[in-house]
Amino acid sequence: MDKFDVIIIGGGHAGVEAAFACARMNKKSCLITNNLDDLGKMSCNPAIGGIGKSHLVKEIDAMGGLMGIAADFGGIHFRVLNSSKGAAVRATRSQSDRILYSNKVKEIINSEHLLTIIDSEVSEVLLSNSKSKGVKLSNGKSIHSKKVILTAGTFLNGKLFTGEEEEEGGRIGDKPSKKLADFLLSLELNSGRLKTGTPPRIKASTVNWSVTKEQPGDSPRPTMSFITTNKIHPQQMSCHITRTNLKTHEIIMEGIEKSPMFTGKIEGLGPRYCPSIEDKIHRFSDKNSHQIFIEPEGLTSKEIYPNGISTSMPKEIQQRMVNSIKGFEHAEITKYGYAVEYDFFDPRGLNHSLETKKIENLYFAGQINGTTGYEEAAAQGLVAGINASLAIDDKAAWIPKREESYIGVLIDDLVTIGTKEPYRMFTSRAEYRLLLREDNADQRLSPIARKLGLLNEERWMSFSKKLEDIEKERTRLQGFKLSLSQINDLNKNANAKRKSSISALEALKRPEITYERLCQKLKIQPERNEIALDVTTNQKYFGYIQRQKKEINKVKKNENALIPEKTDFNQIEGLSNESKQKLSLVKPKTLAHAQRIPGLTPAAISLLLVHIKKKSIQKNNVA
- What pLDDT digit, counting tens, does each position of 487-521 carry? 777 776 555 555 578 899 999 998 889 999 999 99
**Residues 308-315: what's their mean pLDDT?**
93
Question: Rounded CA gap, 390 and 382, in Å?
Answer: 12
Cis amide leading into 220 (omega within 30): yes
Q: What is the mean pLDDT of residues 590-598?
A: 81
**Distance (Å, whole) CA 502 – CA 492:** 17
pLDDT beyond 80 at 353: yes
Helix (H, G, I), strand (E, B) or coil at 32: strand
Helices and strands counted in the chain (H then E)? 21, 22
Helix residue ranges per DSSP H, 439-541: 441-452, 457-478, 484-490, 504-507, 515-522, 529-540
Does 246 have pLDDT greater than 70?
yes
pLDDT of residue 211: 97
pLDDT of 498 reads 55
Tell me the backbone φ, ψ of residue 294, rounded to 5 degrees: -90, 110
Q: E strand or H helix at 213, and its extent? A: strand 213-215
Lowest pLDDT segment from 61-75, 272-286, 438-452, 566-580: 272-286
Q: Are 222 and 229 in contact (CB under 8 A)?
A: no
Please state, as a whole number, how many other Cβ atoms lie within 10 Å of the Cβ of residue 137.
Answer: 16
- Distance, in Å, from the CA atom of 118 to the CA atom of 110, rounded to the nearest integer, reads 12
- For the segment 222-240, the average pLDDT, to the nearest whole number, is 96
Q: Which amino acid is at 413?
A: D
Integer Cα distance of 127 and 151 in angstroms:
18
Strand order in the sheet with 91-96: 47-49, 91-96, 75-81
For the cut 90, the answer to whether the pLDDT of residue 440 exceeds it is yes
Residue 15 CA to residue 31 CA, distance in Å, equals 7
The one-letter amino acid at 436: L
Q: For residue 492, what pLDDT is reported?
A: 64
Strands 191-198 and 338-345: antiparallel
- Count of C-beta atoms within a 10 Å radius of residue 140: 7
Residue % of the chain over a pLDDT of 70: 97
CA 160, 163, 164, 165 dihedral sign is negative
Contacts of 331 (CB under 8 A, 6+ apart): 202, 203, 206, 207, 322, 323, 325
